[in-house]
Structure 1
Amino acid sequence: MRIVSLVPSATETLFALGVGPDVTAVTHECDYPLDALNLPKVTRDVLPPGLAPAEIDAAVRALTEEGRSIYELDEPGLRRLKPDLIVTQALCSVCAVSVDDVRAIAARMDPVPEIVSLDPHTLGEVLGDVRTLAQATDRKDAGVDLVNDAAARIDRVRLAVRHERHVRVAMLEWLDPVFVGGHWVPQLIEHAGGVDLLGLPGEPSEQRTWAQVAAARPEVVIVAPCGYDVERGAREAADYADELAALGADRIVVGDASAWFSRPGPRLVDGLEWLGHALHPDRVPEPPGGVRVL
């Protein structure tokens, strides 16, 4: 089977299911696992490099109003690959190629590939997508094993913190303007022994003001700018150090959004384990790399 993945989280899931050798092309943002970096890229970013957070937000809003994505698809390259299966998503209309565009292109291809479109909003739906991809790639047993392993790890964290006082948490997934995490993020925070003060489970991320975040009186602020790793997140936090300090939290920690929170794939469970230790370090083992505290 020849598979093209147009979603970084799907790429991670496909490799976790053991079908990495069948993946023939990915997006320019697919950087995990490392083997994905060596595959042909069939997308590119339309935003220029070096934009500040506010400029990125403005550019994304402008593209959204035009009904466009920040990704562009290499249609000739996709045609040359002749995939049997294309995996895309409908969750975010901006951060991936439009599923409608993918379907239109696929319909003009010969042979016409199968399209699997993922649209998870909760942790349970993310695990459901593992089953969907396992079914589409004839890896049902691997899908069962992957879901069972994730469920066991989730339960270990939940059991470890079940008698602890829930910590008041604000998860910031963008800093200018401020956005708070939604979808599966509030669930992860709850499972890790926290209470998400601003995000709603299963609902999109929402814009807030610094004053609104401060008014929620968070004990722990998690800085995890969407799509950024810890080092980039820490640089962003340094640029907004005064605003973060004014929130009055006991601790400000930086999370790896790209690995643990932005992408609805298997590594969300890594994010849960990281959160468990960040909120209850005496109850959940320290994750690899520890916790970056500002």
Structure 2
Amino acid sequence: MLCLGSGLARAQVCVTDDTDRQVCLGQPASRIIALSPGATELLFAAGAGEQVVGAVSFSDYPPAAEKLPRVGSYKRLDLEAVLALKPDLIVAWRSGNPMEQVERLQAMGVPVYHSEPRRFDNISTTLERLAVLAGTEAVGQGAADALRSGMDSLRQRYAEAEPVTVFYQVWEEPLMTVNNEHLISEAIQICGGVNVFGELASLAPKISREAVLAKDPEVIIAGGMGEDDPSWLEPWKQFSSLRAVQQNNLFFVAPSTLQRPTPQMLAGTRTLCSHLDTVRARD
């Protein structure tokens, strides 16, 4: 979307972010800082990788992102490091970043795009918007279309699938899951799964092992501390009364493919759907 700057005849580059704020730049951004690993991935996927000059810790995908200067963690920013990189756009994580620090950057005149995709179509929309801000519309549109097409295919494939009750473990200590407002829950739903904690109020609620035992899900799916670390599943094996344990329905999905709101979630959702197919075949 284009708008005209007040008092000037030159066109600005404008989009609306996930807080319904309009973000306008005088020209496409050339020095972008990403304040979450997910934002880093989204910018690269939107074709703006060459314009990204800084990122927070754990921004490890694609591999080129590992070489970027660090500006702190998503929980605590190094404002001096941010300002030293002279950004003309910051992409913030609305529910993850310390908002008092982000607001200080905005008060200093740095344009901030607040990202908070809650559904897969929001990821596609974010790719399109970031591409507009970076002047890489063709790449961003292609990535957005590919994600929409892939998710639509999965929705059609599993539209009539037999429901499977699912507990998704997003963290170990404290034990945490997701509710139905979370993107991971949409992935579960697309695959024909039913999130047993979907009705909880918090986006990522803390729960007890007793609560999981009471729900008795057909399958337990976990992320982990690493891309190939299914150790969070081991403690569940002691609970022989659980249906998921009795049928060996304990599965791992690499966290980067389901726990970041990026195009990688298409691969993660495919893996999740495959695991639920295995559960159905064992019934």
Aligned residue pairs total 246
- Checking the alignment, whether the CA contact within 8 Å between 2:39 and 2:91 is kept in structure 1 is yes
- Checking the alignment, whether the CA contact within 8 Å between 1:89 and 1:99 is kept in structure 2 is no
1:203 Cα offset (Å): 5.5
- For 1:34, the equivalent position in structure 2 comes to 63
Unaligned runs of 5+ in 1: 45-69, 284-294
Task: Tell me whether 1:84 sits opposite 2:83 in the alignment.
Answer: no
Consecutive aligned runs of 4 or more in structure 1 exceeding 6 Å deviation:
none
Judging changes above 3 Å, is the alpha-carbon distance between structure 1 residues 89 and 222 closer, same or farther for their aligned structure 2 residues?
Answer: same
Out of 167, 170, 190, the position equivalent to 2:167 is 170
1:281 Cα offset (Å): 4.8
SS at match of 1:43: coil
- Checking the alignment, whether the CA contact within 8 Å between 2:191 and 2:276 is kept in structure 1 is yes
SS at match of 1:117: strand
- For 2:123, the equivalent position in structure 1 comes to 126
- For 2:41, the equivalent position in structure 1 comes to 12
Inter-partner Cα distance in structure 1 for 2:201 and 2:38: 18
1:1-294 map, 5 Å: 1-44=30-73, 71-92=75-96, 96=97, 98-108=98-108, 112-182=109-179, 183-200=182-199, 204-225=203-224, 228-232=225-229, 234-238=230-234, 240-242=235-237, 245-249=240-244, 250=247, 251-257=249-255, 259-281=256-278
- For 1:286, the equivalent position in structure 2 comes to none
SS at match of 1:208: coil
- Checking the alignment, whether the CA contact within 8 Å between 2:233 and 2:251 is kept in structure 1 is no
Give the percent of matched residue pairs that are identical in Structure 1 and Structure 2: 25
- Checking the alignment, whether the CA contact within 8 Å between 2:123 and 2:144 is kept in structure 1 is no
Aligned amino acid, residue 62 of structure 2: P
- Checking the alignment, whether the CA contact within 8 Å between 2:48 and 2:134 is kept in structure 1 is yes
RMSD: 2.4
Inter-partner Cα distance in structure 1 for 2:79 and 2:68: 16
Judging changes above 3 Å, is the alpha-carbon distance between structure 1 residues 160 and 191 closer, same or farther for their aligned structure 2 residues?
Answer: same
- Checking the alignment, whether the CA contact within 8 Å between 1:122 and 1:201 is kept in structure 2 is no
Judging changes above 3 Å, is the alpha-carbon distance between structure 1 residues 246 and 282 closer, same or farther for their aligned structure 2 residues?
Answer: closer
Inter-partner Cα distance in structure 1 for 2:138 and 2:147: 14
Inter-partner Cα distance in structure 1 for 2:205 and 2:103: 29
1:268 Cα offset (Å): 1.4
**TM-score, structure 2 normalization:** 0.79
Inter-partner Cα distance in structure 2 for 1:202 and 1:147: 30
1:201 Cα offset (Å): 9.4
Inter-partner Cα distance in structure 1 for 2:212 and 2:38: 29
- Checking the alignment, whether the CA contact within 8 Å between 1:25 and 1:39 is kept in structure 2 is yes
Unaligned runs of 5+ in 2: 1-29
Inter-partner Cα distance in structure 2 for 1:122 and 1:203: 16
Inter-partner Cα distance in structure 1 for 2:49 and 2:252: 30
SS at match of 1:189: helix
- Checking the alignment, whether the CA contact within 8 Å between 2:124 and 2:145 is kept in structure 1 is no
SS at match of 1:83: coil
Aligned amino acid, residue 151 of structure 2: I
Inter-partner Cα distance in structure 2 for 1:200 and 1:36: 36
Inter-partner Cα distance in structure 1 for 2:154 and 2:89: 35
Judging changes above 3 Å, is the alpha-carbon distance between structure 1 residues 230 and 81 closer, same or farther for their aligned structure 2 residues?
Answer: closer
Judging changes above 3 Å, is the alpha-carbon distance between structure 1 residues 263 and 243 closer, same or farther for their aligned structure 2 residues?
Answer: farther
SS at match of 2:57: coil
